[in-house]
Amino acid sequence: MHKDMPVSNSQRGKRKTGETIKAFARFLVSVKKYRGWLILSIILAVGSATLGIFIPKILGDMTNIAVDTYPNIDFGTIIGKVWLVVGLFVGSAILNYAQAYILTVVTAKYTRGLRNQIVDKISRLPISYFDKHQYGDTLSRMTNDIDVIATSMSQEIADVSLSITTLVGVMVIMLTISVPLSLISFVVVPISVIVVGKIMGHAQKYFVERQSTLGILNSAIEEDYAGQIIIKSNSHEAASLESFNNTNERLNKITMKAQFLSSLSFPVTHIFTNLGYVVVAVLGGIFTINGQITIGALQAFIQYVSRFNRPITEVASTTATIQGLIASSERIFEFLNEPEEEPDPVPAKTIEKVQGEVEFHNVNFSYVEGKPIIRNFSVKVKPGMNVAIVGPTGAGKTTIINLLMRFYDPTSGYITIDDVPTREMKRADVRKLFGMVLQDTWLFSGTVEENLKYGNQAATFADIVRAAKSSNVHHVIEALPKTYHSEISEDSDNISAGEKQLITIARAMVVNPPMMILDEATSNVDTRTEQLIQNSFEKLTHGRTSFVIAHRLSTIRNADLILVMRDGEIVEQGNHAELLKADGFYAELYNSQFAEN
C-alpha cells in the first residue's frame, strides 16, 4: 500500500437473484469452448442411464416367465435374459466411465483457463484496485472458488444428466405398466420440488457469504503470517488471535447455516417420495390380487418407484454443490469484470532519444473524490538534475512518484517528459524510462543472477557483476555458497534486510535506465552501508535525471533541487544551502533531525 492513500476493505453486499442468474449465465458462456465435449459427455451419461432403465423391466419379465412356466420353469429363456442384463450393466458402466473421463479432462482445462484469465486480468488492473482490495481475497478466488467450480463440473454435470434421464425414462416405463400407480408416484414430485426450492432460495445467500468470508479469512492468515515480527514486537498476539477467531467463527456459523439449509433438501424429498412408495406398495398388492397387474410387473414397478425417487433425491442433494458453484462463479466473474486501466492512446507518442527533462504542469490529484492529495503542483526538472522530495508523512511524496510512473493519472493538469505528455505515451514506455528502487525490498524465488536480470533479460554476466560492485553487494554475493547462482527469495534468512536492499539497487543498475527513482531506498541499511550506496548512486545518476524520496535529510544535501512538500503542495524549493539560509520549513525539519541524531 502506498503511504498517501487511506486503505479500505472491499465490502460485499447481498447478491440479488438477478445477479445470481447473470453469474450462472456467464458461467455457461465461459464453457462454450468445451460445448462439444460437454454435449458428448451428457450423451454418454444419457446412454448409460438409458441402458440401466431397462434392467428392472427385464427382471420383471424373468419373474413372469418363472411364474407362468411353473413348475417346469423355462430356465433357457431366463438365462438368456440374465446375459442381457449383464450386457446392459457392462455397457452402462463403460459409458459412465467414458463420460467421467471426458468431464475430468474438460474440467482440468477449463479451470486452467480460468486461472490464466485471472492472472492476465491482474496484469491489466490499475494500481488502485490493489490499494482497495485484500491480497488474500484475490488469492481465494484463484484457489478456493476455482476448486469449487472444478468439483461441481466434474461431478454434477454427469449426475444431473443421469438423474434427469433416469427420471424421464422411468416415468415413461411406469406409465406403460400402470397409469393409476404412476399418478400416485408423480403427485409427490411438484410438492417436494416447491418445498426444496424455497429452502434453497434461503440457502443461496449463505453460500455467497461463505465464499466472501473465506476470502477475508485468507487475507487475515496471509497478513498474520507476513507480519509476525510486528505482531510479536507489539505483543499483539492475543488481539490478532481474537480477530482471527472472530472471523473464523463467523465463517463457521455461515457454513453451518448454508449446509443445514441445503441438507434439508434430501430428507424433505425423502419424506415425500417414501410416502408415495408406501401408497404404491399397498395399492399394487390390491391390483395384483384383483388381476389388474402381474407379479412381475408389480416387482418391476416397485423397483422403478425406487429409481424414480432416487434421481429426485439426488438432484435435491446436488443443490448444495450447485449453490456453491453459482456463488464461486459470482466471485470469479465479479473479479474478471473489474474496471481495467484505460487503454493506451492510439497512436501513442514515443521519445526517440531521452534527454530527461521532466515537468509537472499545474497537477492536481485525489484518490478519493473531494479529498485532494496533490494541489497545483508545478515544477520543471532539467535533464541530469538530482531532485529530492522531502516532507512529513502524508505530504504526497510517494503520490508524486506514482503519477510520474503513470500508476495513476492526474485529476487535472499533466506531466511531460522531454515535452511529450505522459498521457499520450504507452504506460509501459513511460515506465521503461525509469529505474525504481522502493523502500520495501522484493525478491522472487530464484538465483541471485535471475533476480539481478529481472528488469533486463539481455544483460550479460559482466553487466551484472559490474552493477553488483557499484552497489557494494558483490562481496556479499561472493560469500554465498554458489555465489551468483545461489537461490534466494523474499524470505531468505541468509541475506540481511540491508543486503536485500543492495541487491534491489544493483537490479536497478543492471536496467541502466535514462532516469532513476529512489523511494526511501536506503531506509533498511546502516549508516556505513548507506554511505556506500550514496557514493555508488551518485556514480549511477551522474548525467541522469533522478528523483529521491528520503526521510534522512542528511542523504540529500548534494541534491541539485530539493522540493519541500506539505499537504500536497510545494512550500519550498532550492538546494540544501539555500533552504537552510531561508530558515523555513525545511530548516525546521533538518534541524530537528540533526538534534535527534
The residue that leads in pLDDT, 278 or 586, is 586
Distance separating alpha carbons of residues 35 and 24, to the nearest angstrom: 15
Per-residue model confidence as pLDDT tens digits over 333-364: 888 888 888 888 889 899 988 899 999 999 99
Q: What is the pLDDT of residue 5?
A: 40
Q: What is the pLDDT of residue 491?
A: 60
Q: What is the pLDDT of residue 341?
A: 85
> Cell triple for residue 522?
536506503
Per-residue model confidence as pLDDT tens digits over 117-172: 888 888 888 888 887 777 777 777 878 888 888 877 777 777 777 777 888 888 88
Q: What is the mean pLDDT of the chain?
A: 80
The residue that leads in pLDDT, 314 or 556, is 556
pLDDT > 70 in the chain, percent: 85
Confirm whether 17-336 and 350-433+517-597 share one CATH topology: no
Q: What is the pLDDT of residue 328?
A: 82
Which of 174, 480, 400, 129 has the alpha carbon at shortest distance from 298? 174
Q: Does domain 17-336 have CATH number 1.20.1560.10?
A: yes
Q: What is the pLDDT of residue 76?
A: 82
Distance separating alpha carbons of residues 136 and 41, to the nearest angstrom: 35
Distance separating alpha carbons of residues 372 and 77, to the nearest angstrom: 91
Q: Which one of 3.30.1330.30, 3.90.1150.10, 3.40.50.300, 3.40.640.10 gives the CATH number of domain 444-512?
A: 3.40.50.300
Cα Rg of the chain, angstroms? 35
Q: What is the pLDDT of residue 358?
A: 93
Residue by residue, DSSP assigns 174-201 as HHHH-HHHHHHHHTHHHHHHHHHHHHHH
Residue by residue, DSSP assigns 80-138 as HHHHHHHHHHHHHHHHHHHHHHHHHHHHHHHHHHHHHHHHHHHHHS-HHHHHHS-HHHH
Per-residue model confidence as pLDDT tens digits over 268-280: 776 777 777 777 7
Q: What is the pLDDT of residue 18?
A: 63
Q: CB–CB of 240/196 below 8 Å? A: no
Per-residue model confidence as pLDDT tens digits over 187-245: 776 676 677 667 766 776 777 777 778 777 777 776 776 666 566 656 667 777 888 88
Residue 595 pLDDT level (bands cut at 50, 70, 90): low
Class of domain 350-433+517-597: alpha beta
Distance separating alpha carbons of residues 270 and 314, to the nearest angstrom: 10
Which three-class secondary structure state does DSSP give residue 11? coil
The arithmetic mean of pLDDT across residues 496-501, rounded, is 77
Per-residue model confidence as pLDDT tens digits over 25-72: 777 788 888 888 888 888 888 888 888 888 888 887 788 777 777 777
Residue 499, CA atoms < 13 Å, CB-side half-sphere: 18
Domain boundaries, the chain: 17-336, 350-433+517-597, 444-512
